[in-house]
Amino acid sequence: MDLPYLKLGKTGSAKYRRPIRSAPMRAMLGKSAVEWTLKTRDPLKIVEAWKVKHAEFEALQAKAEGRTTNQIEWDMLHSAAVAHGLVQPGASKIGPVDSELESGRHAAFTAAA
């Protein structure tokens, strides 16, 4: 599995381990990293549990930095659009996208979003 911040133990246990780079979040949690168990060894369940823990981390980080839910959603969508080549990194909007012409990239972006 190639998920960022996923740490697999020798026994197959999985953890979400992520360094905390944000000073406000370090102050809020009193840690320099988080390490949360995903409570499963099943590869399919690991992916789902990872998504939950990743979302929890992002929400905590946003709270610590004072960002709104809308700002978080925009950041996630913008990152996915950049990763799939639909916009430039400095773009302030996404779209319009011709879903027929860009069907592969559009489908990959939609799945990521």
Please report the sign of the dihedral spanned by the C-alpha atoms of residue 98, residue 100, residue 105, residue 109.
Answer: positive
**Going edge to edge, which strands form the sheet with 14-19?**
6-8, 14-19, 33-37
Tokens of 83: 């990763």
3-state secondary structure of 56: helix
CA distance 79 to 85: 10
> What's the pLDDT at 31?
95
pLDDT at 82: 86
Q: What is the pLDDT of residue 7?
A: 96
pLDDT at position 45: 94
Residues of the chain with pLDDT under 70: 113
